Amino acid sequence: MPQLDQLSACPSCAEPLEEGDRFCGACGADLEAAAAAAAAAQSSPAPRSDVPPAPRHAPTLPDGLAAAPPSGHGSPPPPPPAAPPAPPAPPAAAAPPAQVPTPTEPDFALPPALGHPETPVEPTAPAGTPAPAPAGPDPRTVLDRPGQPGQVVAGGEGAGEPAAAGPESPGPVCVACGTGTIDSDGYCEHCGHKQPRDRDHMESALATVAAASDRGLRHHRNEDFFAIAETTTSEGTPATFAVICDGVSSATRPDEASAAAAAAASASLGQALPSGRHPQQAMYDALVAASDAVNELAAQTPVEPSKNAPACTVVSALSADGILTVGWIGDSRAYWVPDDRTATPARLTEDDSWAAQMVAAGLMNEAEAYADPRAHAITGWLGADAYEIDPHTASFKPDQAGVVVVCTDGLWNYAESAQEMAAAVPRDALVRPLQSAQHLVGYALDGGGHDNVTVAVVPFPAPSGGAGSA
């Protein structure tokens, strides 16, 4: 197998690489395949000058039709001579001239919104010109599509989806070359570029909450998932919540476990709050529902003694009636960051981990415990092979405005203490939660991106006028 440390930059986009990278963090290119191709090119003998070149294949256009070859070698034979013209018909009464529409200039088109595909304005074609073949879908995708109030948005639902293909479209096109179609393995059939998965990067925003998730720079897939939603209590007051789940990589189907848990917890909260259930009880029931959803996955998975059952962690934050309620199982966290940065921030959750147990038992201080290789071994999780689950819930009543940062360890590994997290959160997070979530994902990637990173930002109190979705 080629050594990846021989590549200092991505062969597709020239992004600098670090030792151990299997995929490019910028474009997602498969570095192992690139290294193998480079090794094969170095070991192949030099071409001989006395061997005629292989015949060239005619290029293929994006619509699947063969392109016309250049003039000279390989040009098609000239068309046969035209038949002699027919004798002129006898003169008849002149028909009135046809109404030729006066060509008009196309309407002025505004520039496209950031992150949304541009719709070009086609010039008016002369009369009698055959209509062009329909073009394939735009290779660009929408990475930020805010949801509507009252809508549950799960894991970037409605984000990262390619433009709808027409009836004659060959399917999605390559994000690198913009022409090749994508095979069943996710590679471009024209340039060979590996395409990013839908879950590699996800972003979603509602008026009062936003979240973002990224695969990171070391993992080959994103095993995190999230759900955000807005609803109302039984009294009709607004309520906002975010659920974040982190798949356990050593388990089977961790990506499916996190998605199932986030969806189940979100659905439970969305039903319990309008029915009048107390927020803390609703949070507890939501974590139990998430556990049941992951357990159901185990029943669908063939039993293999060498593999663990599907598993993930969960953390959730709910803002309703001036109260913050958090719930968690595992080592994903929630932080309180006040808008007044002179006030004291706080961590709202306690990890279910080996390090937290050592600190709680007084056997180690926090610095010693988290420096130990066993620090991140979790002692609580969702899954059929977990111990009896013990959902944790807590409620707080802040006396000032601020935001709750809900995240996986892919972020808090780079900002562990409450003070470090507060320093990483932008100062305008209260009114710009989506941009703040994006910033925090970038903060983790700049720090090394060693894990999947997912973060939700929940303003408190909620901004008025939908400022959070700008």
How does pLDDT run across 294-306, given as a tens digit for each residue?
999 998 877 777 7
Does the pLDDT at position 455 exceed 80?
yes
Distance CA 189, CA 179 (A): 9
User: What is the band of 456 on the pLDDT scale with cuts at 50, 70, 90?
Assistant: very high
23-49: average pLDDT: 65
Distance CA 451, CA 467 (A): 31
Structure tokens of 202?
A: 């996800």
pLDDT at 67: 43
Q: Residue 267 in contact with residue 289, Cβ under 8 Å?
A: yes
Does the pLDDT at position 420 exceed 90?
yes
Distance CA 155, CA 328 (A): 18
394-422: average pLDDT: 97
User: What is the band of 38 on the pLDDT scale with cuts at 50, 70, 90?
Assistant: low
Average pLDDT, the chain: 77
**Which of 124-138, 203-217, 422-436 shows the lowest per-residue confidence on average (mean pLDDT)?**
124-138
Distance CA 428, CA 402 (A): 10
pLDDT at 323: 96
Q: Residue 273 in contact with residue 238, Cβ under 8 Å?
A: no
Does the pLDDT at position 166 exceed 70?
no
What SS3 class is residue 273? Answer: coil
User: What is the band of 193 on the pLDDT scale with cuts at 50, 70, 90?
Assistant: confident
16-45: average pLDDT: 68
The H helix count followed by the E strand count for the chain is 8, 13
Does the pLDDT at position 341 exceed 70?
yes
User: What is the band of 261 on the pLDDT scale with cuts at 50, 70, 90?
Assistant: very high
What residue spans of 174-278 are helical by DSSP H? 254-272
Q: Which residue has the higher pLDDT, 162 or 201?
A: 201
Please enumerate in sequence order all residues whose Cβ is within 8 A of that of 121, keeping only pairs 6 or more positions apart, or say none.
Answer: 106, 107, 109
Residue type, 19: E
308-333: average pLDDT: 96
Q: Which residue has the higher pLDDT, 17 or 161?
A: 17
**Which of 44-48, 146-150, 341-345 shows the lowest per-residue confidence on average (mean pLDDT)?**
146-150
What residue spans of 372-467 are helical by DSSP H? 409-412, 418-424, 433-447
pLDDT tens digit sequence for 42-67:
655 555 545 454 444 444 444 444 44
**pLDDT > 70: what percent of the chain?**
67
**pLDDT > 90: what percent of the chain?**
51
Does the pLDDT at position 116 exceed 50?
no
